[in-house]
Amino acid sequence: MTPDASMRASRSAGVAYAGAAYLLWGVLPLYFLLLVPTGPWEVVAWRVLLSFVFCVLLLTVTRGWAALAVIVRQPKLLGLTALAGLLIYVNWQVFLIGTLTGNVVETSLGYFINPIATVLLGVFVLKERIRRLQWAAIGIAAVAVIVIIVFHGEFPWIALSLTASFGVYGLIKKKIGPAVDAVSGLTLESLWLIPIAVVQLLLVATTPEGLTMGQNGVWHAVLLAFAGVATAVPLLLFAAGARRIDLTVIGMIQFITPVMQFVIGAAVLGEAMPPERWVGFVIVWIAIAVFVADLLLTAGRSRRSGPTELL
């Protein structure tokens, strides 16, 4: 196979991996709704514990313990994985609360805004310079949030919490860079969260409803047991895809998830979409259109001036 053919094959595989990750993230609300009557606090606790078990199995199968041992000997990397773990915990918990309380549409809003928030983090934290169209997209998105707060009468805390937690999580992962592979990173992030998960299970066990694992039939127990797999697989697919395709393609593909979640919330689950909420979402979509247009224009200029750098 020629180098060009090999690169094309790698990019095709990257699109497939990343696309599969975002498709899985898009249908996760439906999966977690199948876990009712399990509440969000218990689901996240099992998600943490079973993700760790799944990652340990993967490390064993792929012989990745040596790579993990290298990371463990570096305190700075360990600290960053702990911070990443706390951020992804917040993201998981808020996402489950939103999903299981009839707010799937608002969770989609958070992931619609996330790419633009990531750009802002790059500007203020990494001191990156951004283009005029990107500033325009940020401004339009800010107007959308204000419209939703003022006219819908509710502060979109679920959406903004998801945006902030996943945005900063991505920033931490960028700082970690290639020093921590996907499986080792998720293993450590889950490890730091085990005490929180155990406390949550103990607290849930003291409530009148108690723990639901094994109390609602075999099918429910099996679905709940696969929470770890449902958590880890999309993250690993995303990591595999991001190594093979450029940022522009990732920027396009990532909108699969919020679009699917919006459709599930509004069309499948029948969540309320009053006119003022539609106005807010339309403004968000205008911001996204400006953002994507900037990505396309930049990619076109890059192709004319030279090869696009791969992630």
Predicted pLDDT of residue 18: 85
CA 248 to CA 130: how far, in whole Å?
Answer: 14
What burial class does residue 129 get, using C-beta atoms within 10 Å of its C-beta: 0-12 exposed, 13-18 middle, 19+ buried?
exposed
Instruction: Answer yes or no: is 310 within a domain.
Output: no
CB atoms within 10 A of CB 4: 8
Does residue 288 register a pLDDT over 80? yes
pLDDT digits (tens, 9 = 90+) for 62-115: 999 999 999 999 999 999 999 999 999 999 999 999 999 999 999 999 888 887
Predicted pLDDT of residue 222: 94
Instruction: Answer yes or no: is 99 within a domain.
Output: yes
Comparing C-alpha atoms, which of 26, 85, 92, 90 is closest to residue 227?
92
Predicted pLDDT of residue 142: 85
Contacts of 302 (CB under 8 A, 6+ apart): 308
Instruction: Answer yes or no: is 67 within a domain.
Output: yes
CA 66 to CA 22: how far, in whole Å?
Answer: 30
Domain count, the chain: 1
What burial class does residue 55 get, using C-beta atoms within 10 Å of its C-beta: 0-12 exposed, 13-18 middle, 19+ buried?
buried
Instruction: Answer yes or no: is 142 within a domain.
Output: yes
Instruction: Answer yes or no: is 311 within a domain.
Output: no
* Number of helical (H) and strand (E) elements in the chain, helices listed first: 13, 0
Does residue 311 register a pLDDT over 50? no
Predicted pLDDT of residue 310: 34
Does residue 291 register a pLDDT over 50? yes
Which of the four pLDDT bands, split at 50, 70 and 90, describes residue 309? very low
Comparing C-alpha atoms, which of 171, 51, 155 is closest to residue 110?
155
CA 258 to CA 22: how far, in whole Å?
Answer: 9
CB atoms within 10 A of CB 142: 15
Does residue 308 register a pLDDT over 60? no
Domain residue limits at 249: 3-305
